[in-house]
Amino acid sequence: MALSVGDKIPSVDLFEMTADGPSSVSSGEYFAGRKIVLFALPGAFTPTCSAQHLPGYVNNAQDIKAKGVDEIACLTVNDVFVVAAWAKDQGVGDKVRMLADPDGAFTRAADMVFDLSARGLGKRSQRYAIVVEDGVITAVNAEGGGGLTISSAESILEIL
């Protein structure tokens, strides 16, 4: 079943790039005891993701964190090297924590798979944003199609 308010966040290993190379991040541990906005998108370097979705969170990071959010995280079904290159290209810095879901384990556990095989992209994540407090989902804004509306940074600011 897709992510819903009241669900516990799936516990799987995600990955991020560190100064020492790729490092695993347990989603169960990462979300424990904190308020986090996680937004997921179909892929690094894709048009809407690069032109609007990620930049919206980078540009609004300070305002989102001012609403009591401990951290903003971006999740994408890409390998950690692609995610790191995309973060650098987008000038993310420390405003958004960039998490790779390379084999889609989190995305499958969350039942948020978006099959873009017909467009040459394979199975990716649906576009969505969630608010998670101490490992429990308190808000879900999942897009019904390929557009960017309710999962944008501006939409999340309205519900915080």
- What residues are labeled active site? 49
Nearby residues of 87 by Cβ (< 8 Å), 6 or more positions away: 17, 96, 98
Task: Read off the DSSP letter of residue 12.
Answer: -
Q: Are 26 and 11 in contact (CB under 8 A)?
A: yes
- Order of strands across the sheet that contains 97-100: 21-26, 13-18, 97-100, 71-76, 35-41, 128-133, 136-142
Q: Cα(40)–Cα(34) distance, rounded to whole angstroms? A: 18
How many CB atoms sit inside 10 A of residue 46's CB? 18
Q: Are 97 and 65 in contact (CB under 8 A)?
A: no
Q: Cα(54)–Cα(56) distance, rounded to whole angstroms? A: 5
Extract the tokens encoding 23: 């490092």
